Amino acid sequence: MQPKSTNPLARLPTWVSIAIGVFIGLLVANLFRSEHSNSLWRGGGSPGASNVRANSRHPISTPTLDQRRRVLELLTNLSPHYTKECTRHAQTLYKDQARERYSTLVGHQTPSHTSWMDALRMNTGSEGDYVPPTRQFPADDHKYFFAINLYNSFDIIPDLFATLFRVSAILGYQNVYVSIYENGSTDQTKALLRIFDALCRSVGLRVKIQTSMRTRGAFNHRIEYLAEVRNAAFVPLHELRNTENEYFDSIIFMNDILPCVDDLLELIWQSRRNNAGITCATDYMFHDELGSPVFYDNWVARDINGTALENAPFESIFHRPHSQDRFQRHLPVQMQSCWNGIAIMDPAPFYNPPHVKFRMAKITEGECSASECSLIANDYWDVGYGRILMVPRVKLAYDRRVYEIIHPARKNLTSIRGYVRLGGLPDNPRTDPQDRAWFGPHDRLFTDEESEAIDFLPGPEHVWCWGWDGAGDLDGPDVDPIWERRPNRSTIQDSVKVRHRRDLNWV
């Protein structure tokens, strides 16, 4: 005789079990119901968004069982897949440095203790988990506008959103606005955006999500299309100014990358420390012939002398010796132009005339058909906001393969080799061979030089430009590169004058 089942569901009548199964099925089906109208989104009436008809040429594919399972897992705990180890096992010295460094960015009143148990030093974690209180600053009221473009981004969204939630909690939810423009995705990106929208509402984080089935046609100019997509993410910036008289102090424009919390905080910190017009990260792609990651966005990145950076390993990216030296030492480098996955922008040029926006080149006027990101940097120079810098410490990847190479796990080389450290601090970038390697651990200790303000130089007289005039799916730029003459107003000291103070709360 078989033992009696102890499962309570086994004692339910058959019709009740069927009813429960149908109910759950309807809930899941409703979650992934095809979007029939963009009126469901707060951005439905914004430019570029159009209704999705049942006979659309680009219907959203039905999610597979694996995709449904993954979305449901994300619904229960929004957990990053690739960047979850960013600071989980960071060395104690780095944690202390970061806590002190970013205290001025905290946008909420931090309690002296996280809980009554911490106050009694009776937290349930290990002894090493106790976080000592940091210096107390007045809550920072600096306001941040996050702009994000997404396309078939299902795989990176968990990491991107998890980082956004954590960074927003530090900056203060009341200080953050998130604008997302997604278009043309054929995976389950839209489904995850619905989840993100609901989660943002639950914590009081303001968000506007615009979705569209628009894609770039076979004969649309690539740069014109990309400029329109980027400008679509900026629509709420101007709407809030016009309707609520609300202005933001910093813009964080993000591509579909894998950032860590301290990556964003460092970019924001450097941007405000230097009152920079544009502050960018560094991004990497895998080079099959070299068998290693190389610098990626060299179509946009230009050194302060106007030369292009190279798709090469770190030792040969810059042609200007001074820039290369700072890059190798992980110190901020002044640039003529850069983007590299994340750009922190001073919003003043968007607010004040002559208003800048993403655009394609004025080809009929002889302007080189550069990237929309290069052109926005040129326009920043022209209106006197040419303080542009790149932060080599912040290394970004677009996939797991590159991410794991540029952020290797930390190893205690002294212990492995059987050596005994004679003086100095453990894992110090000046004494540890691993910290002098380019692709080092994420928790590389800060040096004093990384906190020094940059002495900005005027822009170059000429900039290397490789144009992309053609329409359609081309492999790359299709115009012979030239040295393009820059206007005189971008080559004088006045072009790097501080016009909009966004300083940190130093004490």
Strand 333-337 to strand 250-254: parallel, antiparallel, or no bridges (unpaired)?
unpaired
Q: What is the pLDDT of residue 44?
A: 33
Q: What is the pLDDT of residue 264?
A: 96
Token digits of residue 495: 């072009």
Q: In terms of Cα–Cα distance, which of 461, 453, 447 is closest to 495?
A: 461
Q: What is the pLDDT of residue 136?
A: 57
Q: What is the pLDDT of residue 433?
A: 56
What is the C-alpha separation between 457 and 2, in angstroms, rounded? 84
Cβ–Cβ under 8 Å, residues 234 and 58: no
Size (the chain), residues: 507
Which segments in the chain show pLDDT lower than 50?
1-10, 32-58, 113-135, 414-417, 507
CB atoms within 10 A of CB 438: 14
Q: pLDDT tens digit string along 93-139? A: 889 999 999 999 999 765 554 443 343 333 333 333 334 344 456 78
What is the C-alpha separation between 370 and 360, in angstroms, rounded? 8
As beta bridge partners, residue 149 has: 181
3-state SS assignment for residue 29:
helix
User: Which residues lie below 8 Å from residue 486, measured CB to CB, with a gap of 6+?
Assistant: 306, 378, 381, 459, 460, 461, 462, 463
User: Which residues lie below 8 Å from residue 449, measured CB to CB, with a gap of 6+?
Assistant: 329, 331
Element spanning 395, H or E: strand 388-397
User: Which residues lie below 8 Å from residue 86, measured CB to CB, with a gap of 6+?
Assistant: 260, 261, 262, 263, 407, 442
Exposed (0-12), middle (13-18) or buried (19+): which is 281, by Cβ within 10 Å? buried
Q: In terms of Cα–Cα distance, which of 205, 156, 215 is closest to 400?
A: 156
Cβ–Cβ under 8 Å, residues 314 and 331: no
What is the C-alpha separation between 173 and 165, in angstroms, rounded? 9
Cβ–Cβ under 8 Å, residues 307 and 464: yes
Q: What is the pLDDT of residue 46?
A: 35
3-state SS assignment for residue 464:
strand
- Measured between its terminal Cα atoms, the distance across the chain in Å is 78
Cβ–Cβ under 8 Å, residues 447 and 471: no
Cis peptide before 354 (omega within 30 of 0): yes
Cβ–Cβ under 8 Å, residues 284 and 294: yes
To the nearest whole percent, how much of the chain has pLDDT over 70? 71
What is the C-alpha separation between 10 and 65, in angstroms, rounded? 25
User: Which residues lie below 8 Å from residue 498, measured CB to CB, with a gap of 6+?
Assistant: 275, 387
Average pLDDT, the chain: 80
- Vertex 442: Cα angle to 436 and 445 (nearest 5): 60
